[in-house]
Structure 1
Amino acid sequence: MPFVRVSMIEGKNKDYKGKVAETIYRSLRETFDVPERDKFIVIHEHSKDNFIYDENYLGLKKTDDLIIIQIFANNTRTMEQKQSLFLSITENLYQEVGIGKENLLIGIVGVGKENWSFGNGMAQYV
């Protein structure tokens, strides 16, 4: 059950944000064995003053089109699955949305299964 937070500078239209979310979800399904309907994505928009980044970190040119993606997921995925996910999200967002490959920062936070509740105060994965 991944939970995804997407942060970007405000001003993108609804279609753009929807396409970003759907593209990330498809990549999760293809590389992380995420079941159908397991989609929880929140998009955060920030003013330019509140979205601070280094424009040339690690020699990768960043612009105001930068998107920061945090993925909270069960800590059961292999290194290969994680690398595959990074590549899938990057390639798909580049091809389908036009986001430059250098304008993506993606982080995965591994979560123990006992740390999820999907409602009713229950830890459904325990």
Structure 2
Amino acid sequence: MPLVHISLRAGKSDAYRQAIFDSLYRAMRETFNVPEDDQFMTIREHDAANFRYGASYLGIARSDDLVLIQISVMNTRTVEQKKALFRRIAELLGEDPGVRPEDVFVNLVEGTKENWSLGNGLAQYA
């Protein structure tokens, strides 16, 4: 049950933002076995004054098209699955909407099953 928060510079089209949602969801389905209809994602847009990044940190040449992706998940995936997810996200975002791999920044935040409530005030996975 991933929860995805995406941040990017303001000014992209609705189609661009929807392509990000679609590509991320597809990557998670393919690599993390996310169930159908398990889509909980937001996009936040920022003007230039409120969006800062290391343009060359770790020797990666980033641009203003940087997409910051934070995915909260349960701590049930292997290192191999995580690497596959990162790779597949970069591939799919490259295809649609055309984000360069250098501009794909992903952070996984892991928690235990009992830390999730998906509605009705219940801990469905505890």
Which TM-score band (shorter chain)? over 0.9
**Which residue matches 1:14?**
14
**Which residue matches 2:91?**
91
Cα RMSD of the aligned pairs, angstroms, is 0.6
The 5 Å alignment of 1:75-86 reads 75-86=75-86
Q: Distance in 1 between matches of 2:13 and 2:96?
A: 15
Name the % identity: 47
Residue 109 (structure 1) aligned with residue 112 (structure 2): no
* Structure 1: tracts of 5 or more residues without a match: none
Q: Which amino acid counterpart does residue 63 of structure 1 have in structure 2?
A: S
**Which residue matches 2:74?**
74
1:41-86 Cα deviation digits (max 9, x unpaired): 1001111111001111111111110000000001000000000000
* Structure 2: tracts of 5 or more residues without a match: none
Residue 42 (structure 1) aligned with residue 42 (structure 2): yes
Residue 29 (structure 1) aligned with residue 57 (structure 2): no
TM-score when normalising by structure 2: 0.98
SS of corresponding position for 1:42: strand
Q: Distance in 2 between matches of 1:93 and 1:120?
A: 34
1:6-54 Cα deviation digits (max 9, x unpaired): 1000110111000101100000000001000000110011111110011
**Which residue matches 2:2?**
2
Give the superposition deviation at 1:95: 1.7
Q: Which amino acid counterpart does residue 39 of structure 2 have in structure 1?
A: K
Number of equivalent positions: 126
